[in-house]
Structure 1
């Protein structure tokens, strides 16, 4: 297997089916910052003096209050666009939809999902061999749809190795598995079950982002609890069990990008557990 190294910079890679193509994307979330030079200060002063003389006090207060709100919305929308393409359109309407859903989002992404009675499979797969703890602090994660890591990116080699593993896994078990574009994400590679026991989105088991190399998958509540406890991932914000129907299943979990060959092995075990939840079958995911 190719060597994998942690990448600190935010250079990303876009991949076609044949060859990776490099392009630059900086996944950042910038705070509001307004810098006024001498011309801007003079302009603002003149506008305020003119407004005080021409406008009613109530109207002036509304105008002054509206400007910071406008700046905040503009900055927040730009941060939304910087997350890149995902399941929600990169438009202002998509931004408004996400902010509506944000009102009902999960407050603590590390709180385990409560297991329902009578689910199938009855127990998780990872209890056979618990996961080791992930080294270091958790990466910074932002956004809802899309949801992205903004640091601790996995290497390009790890990403390509994972793609090969998923492709070979689907080919070796092509009667029950398939590979295609993610149903949830609408971008990136996804692994699907042809005959899901727990239906997700067309039987999607996992998809991998080609921007931050993190992934989303559906896990048994026991396995999700193990992933959260050992630091390998977190729940998606839209898995809150509220009266509003959410666009993702409550088992939807983000797993962080693997930074080394050893971490890639652990991630493959978690993907195997995701397949176990969706298909109720434990099919070993072979590495290179």
Structure 2
């Protein structure tokens, strides 16, 4: 199966990408809270007393429950919008669809998916040279689609080096790889295989989020286990397997943003593992500093 796309190098980076890459965005998620000053507390008390005398009991009970629920949904919707652009439209309809998916999300994103003995490739490649442990605590992560880091954003230099390295790879192997905007995220820089054996998003190998510089990619379950154990990422919450069809494969994994050149070298090896799972072919990615 061949993939035909306009490469990012051919059409140039969009103004949105340039703007987002140039700024370290702080992604906030505000907790739900209701603050009542003395006047508001007095008004609520008076309304409740009046309601108990002049409003039907069922209606009053409904209003007492309904108002906080509406405020909770409103706060949750605003937090969804604050995650920035992603694969889900930033509309209330898109938010409602994600709310449905929440019923089926993974309860433990740090456990690898089971292996399929009939799938190719038959094993991962990270065990050949095991990853070191990621220094420091894991970043805080929120959201489904989009899923983003709330802290520890990747550095500008690491992003530029990684993107340049991937573009160099596609220039070296144009018959095998191409870069374009992500099919899954609808935003952000992505690497595609022209002839994938495990197809996801038209052969998408990985994509980089321009807001926090984290990544999503598909990995062999063996390599997912290595990534999880060493602290370099976590599974996507919608990568479940069940009677409800998941929007993404069970192998869909979030890789944390590289903070420095040391992280970048490890993340490059993980991308090589994603290429292996997508194409069953080992390819070396040289970072700009290495080359």
Same fold, TM exceeding 0.5?
Answer: yes
Structure 1 residue 71: Cα displacement? 1.3
Contact 1:206 1:216 in 2 (8 A): yes
Q: 1:105 to 1:17 in 2, by over 3 A?
A: closer
- Give the alignment's TM-score, normalised by structure 1: 0.91
Q: Give the RMSD, CA atoms, in angstroms.
A: 1.7
Structure (1 or 2) with the greater strand fraction? 1
**Distance in 2 (alpha carbons) for counterparts of 1:116 and 1:33:** 45
Query: Pairwise mapping of residues 121-270 of structure 1 onto structure 2 (< 5 A)?
Result: 121-270=121-270
Matching of residues 108-127 of structure 1 within 5 Å: 108-127=108-127
Long gaps (5+) in structure 2: 1-12
Deviations 1:150-194 (A, max 9, x none): 011111111111111111111111111000000111100000000
Distance in 1, matches of 2:66 and 2:198, equals: 48
Asked whether the 8 Å contact 1:235–1:254 carries over to 2, the reply is yes
TM-score (norm 2): 0.90
Long gaps (5+) in structure 1: 1-13
Q: Distance in 2 between matches of 1:18 and 1:83?
A: 16
1:168 partner SS: helix
Whole-Å separation in 2 of the counterparts to 1:36 and 1:208: 42
Instruction: Report the 3-state secondary structure (helix = DSSP H, G, I; strand = E; otherwise coil) of the residue aligned with 2:75.
Output: helix
Please tell me whether the aligned partners of residues 26 and 82 of structure 1 are also in contact (alpha carbons under 8 angstroms). no
2:24 touches 2:153 (CA, 8 Å); kept in 1? no
Structure 1: distance between partners of 2:135 and 2:25: 26
Name 1:7's counterpart in structure 2. Answer: none
Contact map agreement 2:140 2:150 (CA 8 A) in 1:
yes
User: How many Å apart are 1:44 and its aligned residue?
Assistant: 2.1
Q: How many residues align?
A: 275
Q: SS of 2:171's equivalent? A: helix
| 1:30 aligned partner | 30
